[in-house]
Structures are given as C-alpha cells and as structure tokens.
Amino acid sequence: MRLSHITIQGFKSFAKKTTLDVTHQVTGVVGPNGSGKSNIAEAIRFVLGEQSIKSMRGKTGTDVIFKGSEHLPALSRASVTMVIDNKNKTMKSIDTAHANQDLAPFLVYDELTLARVIYADGTSDYLLNGAKIRLKDVQELLSFAGIGGSAHTIINQGEADKILLASPRDRKESLEDALGLRVYHMRLNESARKLERVKAHVHEVELLRKEIKPHLTHLERQVQKIESQEEERKKLLVFLEAYLSREEYELAVLRERIVEQGTSSSLLLITDSIRKELELLKHAKHDSHTGGVAEKQTLQAEMRSLFERRDQITKTLGRLEAEKIYIEKEIAKQKENKDVIIPHNDFKDIYKTVKNKFEIIHKAFATSSFNEAQSGIKDILFFLESFFTKHAIHEDSNHESYHHSKKILEQDIKDHEEKAQKLEKDISIIEEKISMIDMHTQKTIQTKHEEEKKIMILESKLRELESTIALRKQEEGEIELRKQHFDALLQEGVMIVGREVLSYTNKIIEEKYKIMPKHDLLRAIERSKLRIEEAGIPNRGEVIAEYKTTKERDEYLTKELIDIRDSEEKLLALIKELTSSLEERFSSGVKEVSKVFSEFFAEVFVGGKGKLTLVDLIKIDDDGNQIVEQGIDIDVSLPNKKIKEISMFSGGERALVSIALLFAMSSITPPPFMVLDETDAPLDESNARKYGVMLKRLSEKSKLLVITHNRETMNHCDMLYGVTLSVDGGSRLLSIQFKEAEEYVQ
Ligand code: ATP
C-alpha cells in the first residue's frame, strides 16, 4: 500500500483546503516558527484516529477547528483526508483470518479515502470512501495497513528520547506497536472482553438454570404423578368399560325378563280390571238375592192367609154341613113334634163359633188383613142370623123355617164350596209362584255359588298379582337403583377419564375381565378411583403446560450454555492462538530489532555496542497474584566510555540512541510512512549527518515526512514544502522541490 496524499481543511491554522503530496521517499516540510508545520503532523495524527487532544496541543476537541483570524472567519468543521493507493490490493492481502467484516467490502477498491471530520459541537465522524465507519474500524484498517498507532508513526518534537526514558513495559508496548502487533492486542483485548461477557453470560445462564431447577424438579414430580395418574386412568378406563358393558347387558336382560313377565304397571292394570270385575260380581249377587227373598216372603204371607181362609171355609163348611144335618134332623123331628126346643149344644156351638170368629177377626186386624176381618164379621152375622132364623121358625113356623134354613144352608155351603175351590185355585197359583221363585232362587244360588267361586278365584288371583306386583316393584326398584349407580359411575367416569369411557360398548373386553366377579370389578374401580384421587393434582393442564414451558426454557438454557461454552472454548483457543502468535512474533521481532539497533548503534557510535534484552517483570494484579510480564531493556556501551546509564548520556547522544532505536523498530515492520517532527533538533552538525544516514536507510522501507529546520536533513529530501503564515492569518503550503516555488493551495 502507498500513501498518496493528505488534504487538510479547516484544521488548526490550515483554514483553506490544502493538499500535501506524500508520494516521495522523503518529503521535507520547512518554514519559520509558528507557520503551522507541526499542525501538518497533528493533522495526520488526527486522521489516524488520535484520541488524545493533549497530543494535538488542545484542551477540547473543537480546538483543532480553525478559530478565525483578522481576515478569515472561524470555521464550524475541520477535516483531514488521507488518500491511500490500493491498486496493488495489499490491503486485501492483509491477514483476513481476523478481518473485520465491516471493512471487508472496502478493501477491494483501488483507492481508499479515510477522512475524519470534527464539528463545532464536538462530534466527529470517520468516513471510509464516504461511508461512516467506527474508530475501531479505523484502527483496524490502519493496523492492516501497517500504520499502527500514531504514537509510533508520528514522532513529535522533543519526543524522540521518550522511548529511552520509558519503562521496560511501555517500551515493550511501543516495540509491539512498531512490529505491527497492535492488531493482536486489539484482537486479544476484544477476545478477552468477549470472554468476560461470555463468562458473565455463562454465569447468568447457570444462575437462571439454578433458579428454575427446583421449580422444574417440582414440576417434574408433579408431571410424574400426573403420568402415573394417567396410567391409573387407563386402568380405570378398562375396569369401567368391562363393568359398564356387563352391567348394561345384565340390566337389559333383567328388563326384558320383566317385560316378558309383566311390568308392575301392566300388572296393576290387570288388578284394576280384576277389581272392577269383582266389584261387578259382588254387586250383581246382592240384587238377585234380595229381590227373590222379598217376593217369596210376600207370596208365603199371602199363602198363609189363603190357607187360613181355606181352613176357615173348611171349618165353615163343616159347620154348615153339621147345621144342614141338624136341620134335616129337626125337619124330621118336626114331622113328629112341633115344639121348638133349642138344644144346649146348639147354644154352646154358636157361642164357640162366634168366639172363634172374634179371635180370627182380632188377629186379622192385628195383621191388617181387613178382608179377612170383614169376612169374619160377615160370618158372625151369618151365624147369628141362621141361629135366630132357625129358632124363630121353630117359634113361628118351625117347619117352614127349617126348610128355608136348609135351602139357605145349602146355598151357603155351595158358596163356601165355591170359595174353597177358588181358594184352592189361588193357593195352587201361589204355590206355583213360590215354586217358580224357589226355582229361580235355586238358580240364583247356583249362579251365586259360581260367582262366589269366581270371586274366590279372582281374589286369589288378585292376591297373587299383588304379591307379584310387590315383587316386581322390588325388582324394578333394584333395576332402577342399579341403573342409577350405572349412570352415576358413567358420569364419574367421564369426569375422571374423559369422554372416551362413553364408547365402552365399542370396546373389546379382555377375557379376564369378563370372568372376573362383578363385585371384584367394582372394588377394583373404587380402588383405582381412590388412587387417582390421592394422587390428585389440580389444574393438570396448567401444570403440564408450565412443565413444558419450563422444560423448554431449561433445554434452551442448556443449549445456550453449550453454545456459550463452545464460544468460550473457541475464544480461549483464539486467545491462546493469538497469545502464542504474539509471543512468537514479538520474540522474533525483538531479536530482529535488536540486531538492526546494534548495526545502527555501531554505525552511529563507532566502536559502541547496543542491544535489546527481554526481561521478566513481576507484577501484582488486583487479586494480589504475582504475574510475570515481559519488558524490554536497552543495553548500550559507548566507545571509550564506561557509563551505561542512558540517563547519563548527553542530550545529543540520547537523541541519536533513541533515533537509532526508533529507526530499528520501524525497519522490521516498516510503516508505509512516518512523520518525524523535528526529531533532529537537538543534533549538532556531525550528529545531523549520522541522523541523515539513518534517515536514508529508513526511507528505503518507509515514506518519510520530515519537519525540520536542519539543512543537513533537508539535503536528504526529495521534495520540500515550505509553510508560511499568509497575510489572511492562515497557513499556506508551497512546494519548493529545489525548483521554483509552486503554490499548492487549491
Ligand atoms: P515551530 O517551528 O516553532 O515549531 P511550527 O511551524 O511548527 O513552529 P505550529 O506549531 O505548527 O508552527 O503552528 C502554530 C501556529 O498554529 C500558531 O501560530 C497558532 O496560532 C496556530 N494555530 C494553532 N491552532 C489554531 C487554530 N485552531 N486556529 C488558527 N490557528 C491556530
């Protein structure tokens, strides 16, 4: 890579845009004091990403912006642009193993323009080919370009012997810088930072895992319980399926049998109809019986009355017959005797007859048989009339009267005989009626017997039915109870094992459950239910979901931990690799620098010896541990002088030693360019010549920008720029080039 040119605008005294061609081997910058020469070195320091304002002789960042003069206004921004020729693509060939991916796209360009701009508000931007990049990218880019930090590339006025006065550790750092090992340090630091972050992350993840561990263990146990519950549920499902299908079958068989034998309600309907029939039967029996009895009683009473009347008529007929016989005798007697004598027996008879008649009448009245009473009264009158007529006839004309009485008697007998006949007829009618009634009664009784028999049968049937109904009700009740238990079990089953249990009818039941006694099956169900209940975990779904999430989180953390540990290992490997590369390159670099330093030293101090040595430095770290660090010591001996302490060297000697060392350091990994700001200032003429020789050697490897007042040094320049302070108050650059001065300001 080649530095092409530098453009400064608004930076310190360079108000106007000024371009400095740095393509020559040695470019000199000359000019009077205060003209702005050092400002050029600082402009280069600025664009290289210098962070120390002090090293640019300012207090704040904005101090580098042109502050204005009598003739020129103050500016609001300062910018420095460095143009790098990348046609040979050396940038691309840089150790890309560790290349910054943000820079990679730019490394293919033929020209790289690195710019730094600072604004009045103190903010600043870094631009690579116009695109904003970070300071880190700038540092890496420069590191790749071998420019390293500005500390080594730009040696300020009076800073030359800084390297001599530095501590072995600082010297080591400067040497590493010069050897281009800064990038390793950057990488190491970055890796160490990453490692710290990774370790913190590991710690964080481990903490998180530790935190969730007890919860996860708890959830694991819960889930195990749930799983064992699941097992038990499966068992319960099998038991339930076996039990329910068997019970359902048995209930169906029982129901069928009951329907076949008659349900209690159907039997009740039969009993109702039997009861109605019984009712009817019992009612019918009462009517026929009472009707027949009453009629017969009436007829019998009538009969008795007819008998009595017949007897009476028979008696009357007997009397009339007797009377007739008597009259006939009297008639016969009269034929012999006309006197009427009333025999004593007649008198007794009439008395007896009348008395009997009265008794009959009395009875007839008593039984309200008025016809009978009336007939009795008529009989009495008839007897009395017959008696008096008989005896009157006897008195008046007994003879005639006896004939007359006889006629009447005969008529009377005839009437009575007729009456008797009629009575006989009536009696026979009634007797017929009674016999009819008896016949009917007989039939009724027979029917009654049949009905009673039927009633008996029906009643016994009713009793039998009632007991059957009671039994049936009991059976139906049992079936109902079993059905209720069945339904409750099914419902409970759905709640415990889910709706799958409802498909029990479609399941094939294992043989062993088919033959297992049902009460054992039921006991197994109860035990299973109890076990599930005991292991009961509320919110199963939530627990499982939470377990899943926690487990996933734990797995994620575990994976993350593996990944982080993997990157930790990679980082450690990288650190190891970088450290060993660094150590290797450093130790070989130290040897090389020491060799070149010895040569320079011998050249500058003829007969003198100089070399670099690595020393171990003991350091106590923050934790009180001893750490061994390496440092660089400078061993020198001047010809004909015993002193070895550099501090005891003269200023010119010190300047030469330090320049020799700086030049030696730069010669191993030569930077593309170096800025030497009046490093030759303390040298006398003879030493300036020696300086010039070293400058020449150094310029073979690096382009040099030399700010000097020294003529000897100027002799070694291929190109000279003169800096003047213009009348407007800004610095101006004039190319001298040992030719006619040419204004280079645009
Ligand atoms: P010497 O030979 O004495 O070392 P020099 O040529 O190196 O001098 P510089 O130190 O580069 O000179 O320049 C100093 C000049 O720059 C001073 O005149 C100073 O006023 C001017 N200067 C510094 N900062 C600013 C600024 N921000 N704005 C304007 N001028 C500035």
The model's pLDDT over 567-611, given as tens digits with 9 standing for 90+, comes to 999 999 999 998 898 888 888 989 999 999 998 888 888 888 899
CB 673 within 8 A of CB 155: no
Ranking 145-159, 265-279, 425-439 by mean pLDDT, the lowest is 145-159
- Nearest Cα residue to atom 24 of ligand 1: 12
Which stretches within 605-700 are classed as H helix? 651-668, 685-699
Amino acid at position 166, single letter: A
- Whether 35 lines ligand 1, by a CB cut-off of 6 Å, is yes
Tokens of 482: 């079993």
Mean pLDDT of 263-276: 90
23 DSSP assignment? -
For 571-601, the DSSP string reads HHHHHHHHHHHHHHHHHHHHHHHHHHHHHHH
- Nearest Cα residue to atom 3 of ligand 1: 33
**Which of 16, 35, 733 for mutating ligand 1's site (highest number of atoms within 8 Å of CB)?**
35
Q: Which long-range contacts (CB under 8 A, 24 or more apart) does 625-633 make?
A: 629/169, 630/172, 630/586, 631/167, 631/168, 631/169, 631/171, 631/172, 632/168, 632/171, 632/172, 632/175, 632/590, 633/168
- Whether 34 lines ligand 1, by a CB cut-off of 6 Å, is yes
- For the cut 60, the answer to whether the pLDDT of residue 99 exceeds it is no
What count of residues does the chain have?
746
State residue 625's pLDDT score: 85
- For the cut 80, the answer to whether the pLDDT of residue 471 exceeds it is yes
Distance 684 CA to ligand 1 centre (A): 26
Distance 35 CA to ligand 1 centre (A): 6
Q: Residues with Cβ < 8 Å from 131, sequence gap 6 or more?
A: 106
Q: Bridge-partner residues for 615, per DSSP?
A: 631
Distance CA 142, CA 94 (A): 11
Task: Using a pLDDT cut of 90, give the percent of the chain over it.
Answer: 29
Mean pLDDT of 700-706: 90
Mean pLDDT of 23-48: 93
Phi, psi of 729, deg, nearest 5: 100, 0
CB 36 within 8 A of CB 14: yes
**Which of 11, 14, 18, 37 for mutating ligand 1's site (highest number of atoms within 8 Å of CB)?**
37
Distance 739 CA to ligand 1 centre (A): 26
Distance 480 CA to ligand 1 centre (A): 116
How many H-runs (helices) and E-runs (strands) does the chain carry? 16, 15
- Whether 122 lines ligand 1, by a CB cut-off of 6 Å, is no
- Whether 319 lines ligand 1, by a CB cut-off of 6 Å, is no
Distance 525 CA to ligand 1 centre (A): 102
State residue 19's pLDDT score: 95
Distance 362 CA to ligand 1 centre (A): 189
Distance CA 365, CA 321 (A): 28
pLDDT band, very low/low/confident/very high, at 340 (cuts 50, 70, 90): low
- Whether 37 lines ligand 1, by a CB cut-off of 6 Å, is yes
Q: Bridge-partner residues for 609, per DSSP?
A: 637
State residue 47's pLDDT score: 93
Amino acid at position 333, single letter: K
| Each residue's pLDDT tens digit, 543-557 | 889 999 999 999 999
pLDDT band, very low/low/confident/very high, at 742 (cuts 50, 70, 90): very low
Domain positions in the chain are 2-165+646-745, 279-437
Mean pLDDT of 406-425: 84
For 482-543, the DSSP string reads HHHHHHHHHHHHHHHH-GGGGGGGGSPPPHHHHHS-HHHHHHHHHHHHHHHHHT--SSHHHH
Tokens of 401: 């009267």
Atom of ligand 1 nearest to the CA of 678: 4
Tokens of 586: 């450093």
Region label for 743, one of left (φ > 0), alpha (ψ between -120 and 50) or beta (otherwise): beta
Tokens of 351: 């008395």
Q: Residues with Cβ < 8 Å from 445, sequence gap 6 or more?
A: none
Distance CA 743, CA 723 (A): 10
- Nearest Cα residue to atom 18 of ligand 1: 34
CB 555 within 8 A of CB 158: no
- Whether 33 lines ligand 1, by a CB cut-off of 6 Å, is yes
- Whether 12 lines ligand 1, by a CB cut-off of 6 Å, is yes
CB 6 within 8 A of CB 41: no
Provide the sign of the torsion angle of the four alpha carbons 435, 440, 443, 447, taken in this order.
negative
- Nearest Cα residue to atom 14 of ligand 1: 34
Scan for tokens 């038991």, then name that residue.
Answer: 239
- For the cut 80, the answer to whether the pLDDT of residue 376 exceeds it is yes
- Whether 66 lines ligand 1, by a CB cut-off of 6 Å, is yes
Which stretches within 20-72 are classed as H helix? 37-47
**Which of 9, 11, 13, 708 for mutating ligand 1's site (highest number of atoms within 8 Å of CB)?**
13
- Whether 639 lines ligand 1, by a CB cut-off of 6 Å, is no
Q: What is the largest CA-CA distance in the chain?
A: 249
Angle at 176 between CA 170 and CA 179, to 5 degrees: 145
Distance 47 CA to ligand 1 centre (A): 18
Distance CA 717, CA 680 (A): 14
- For the cut 90, the answer to whether the pLDDT of residue 649 exceeds it is no
State residue 20's pLDDT score: 93
Fold of 2-165+646-745: Rossmann fold (3.40.50)
- Nearest Cα residue to atom 25 of ligand 1: 12
Distance CA 702, CA 715 (A): 18
pLDDT band, very low/low/confident/very high, at 398 (cuts 50, 70, 90): low
- Whether 156 lines ligand 1, by a CB cut-off of 6 Å, is no
- Whether 46 lines ligand 1, by a CB cut-off of 6 Å, is no
Distance CA 182, CA 203 (A): 31
State residue 93's pLDDT score: 47
CB 154 within 8 A of CB 44: yes
